Amino acid sequence: MVEEKPYQQHVSSAEDIVEKSTCQNHRAVNKANTARLNLRATGIGATACVRHGCFVPHSVVDFYKGEQQKNIDYSICEALAYHSAGLERALVVYDVACQWSVNFLRQVESYDSLSLPSGMDIVPAVGKFHLSAHKPACYPRFSLMFIPGAGHVDGEILETLWAPFNKISPSARAMSLAHRQEVYDDHMRDSNWKNLIGMVKSLCRKYRNACTGLELTEGPFNQLTTSLHETKVMEWTQQALRAEYERGEALDVYAMRLDKS
């Protein structure tokens, strides 16, 4: 978990952003400032590697109300600062990235407790399971399918990592703050160790699946390309490159369009 004193200083100094979701009725946004009495912490938030499934050290934070932006901002900034030298882009997958990304960079500029590595570009996305609960406009702009380099990840790694914690959370509720932190840290280290020793086998399996998928799709893709008019293919290629470079509204070229008859 994060170091307690700097985190408490950030939480006390950062403003509570009160806003309604402009997407669907996301509870993480609409109930972010819901207070619960007589609780030292109402939950925890974490950042994990979407590729390898490991908790990022020193990025697990306590919630004191709901899932407030200032809590998530601190967790993500701590994670992006961990062994990130040389990385020019960071893919941040979050259930409500369409709402979180609106204020994130402004928050980083406003508080000394938040910082990003110099020159790092943040690419927000929504996990494939949660994306189905968003507005149709969010699909092209925040889908992992349209982010080069994202690969075929589902972006829901934390859902699988939280599952074992359901067994220990009832016991952790009554622990002292220090004891609770030690228990969570021990279980997260154990989870990271298990992922580490199984990583070679997992990556080899994924590589074989990727090679098989390439063999199955490359032929039909080339046949489809040759069957289309060359001008149309060039137009689509330019649109895809523009969407990759500019993102935002440029990604709307991937939105589903229905022509009315």
What's the pLDDT tens digit per position in 67-77?
Answer: 899 999 999 99
- Percent of the chain's residues with pLDDT above 90: 68
- Residue range 138-150: average pLDDT? 93
> What does the CA dihedral 208, 210, 212, 215 come to, rounded to 10 degrees?
-140
Number of residues that this document lists for the chain: 261
List pLDDT tens digits, range 208-245: 999 999 999 999 999 999 999 999 999 999 999 999 98
Handedness of CA 125, 251, 81, 76 (dihedral sign): negative
Q: Is the pLDDT of residue 27 over 70?
A: no
Report CA 90 to chain centroid distance, whole Å. Answer: 10
Q: Is the pLDDT of residue 100 over 60?
A: yes
Please count the other Cβ atoms lying within 10 Å of the Cβ belonging to residue 106. Answer: 10
- Residue range 84-104: average pLDDT? 92
- The pLDDT score that the predictor gives to residue 226 is 93
List pLDDT tens digits, range 164-184: 888 888 898 889 888 999 999
Whole-number Å distance between alpha carbons of 180 and 172: 6
- The pLDDT score that the predictor gives to residue 194 is 95
Average model confidence (pLDDT) for the chain?
90
- Residue range 142-159: average pLDDT? 92
The H helix count followed by the E strand count for the chain is 11, 4
- Percent of the chain's residues with pLDDT above 70: 94
- Compute the half-sphere exposure of residue 129: CA atoms within 13 Å on the CB side of its CA: 9
Whole-number Å distance between alpha carbons of 222 and 234: 14
**What are the helix (H) ranges across the chain?**
4-13, 27-30, 69-80, 97-110, 128-131, 138-142, 157-162, 169-172, 177-197, 199-227, 230-246
Residue 231 has which token pair? 């001008």
- The pLDDT score that the predictor gives to residue 30 is 60
- Residue range 103-115: average pLDDT? 94
> Is the model's pTM score more than 0.85?
yes
- The pLDDT score that the predictor gives to residue 61 is 96
66 DSSP 8-state letter:
S
- The pLDDT score that the predictor gives to residue 88 is 92
Question: Is-contact 168 185, C-beta < 8 A?
Answer: no
Residue 66 has which token pair? 């709901």
Handedness of CA 159, 164, 168, 172 (dihedral sign): negative
- The pLDDT score that the predictor gives to residue 67 is 87
Question: Is-contact 98 134, C-beta < 8 A?
Answer: yes
228 DSSP 8-state letter:
S
- Residue range 126-139: average pLDDT? 92
Question: Is-contact 124 94, C-beta < 8 A?
Answer: yes
Report CA 148 to chain centroid distance, whole Å. Answer: 16
- The pLDDT score that the predictor gives to residue 17 is 78
Q: Is the pLDDT of residue 31 over 70?
A: no
Whole-number Å distance between alpha carbons of 105 and 116: 9
- Residue range 22-37: average pLDDT? 70
- The pLDDT score that the predictor gives to residue 16 is 82
- The pLDDT score that the predictor gives to residue 257 is 75
List pLDDT tens digits, range 183-201: 999 999 999 999 999 999 9
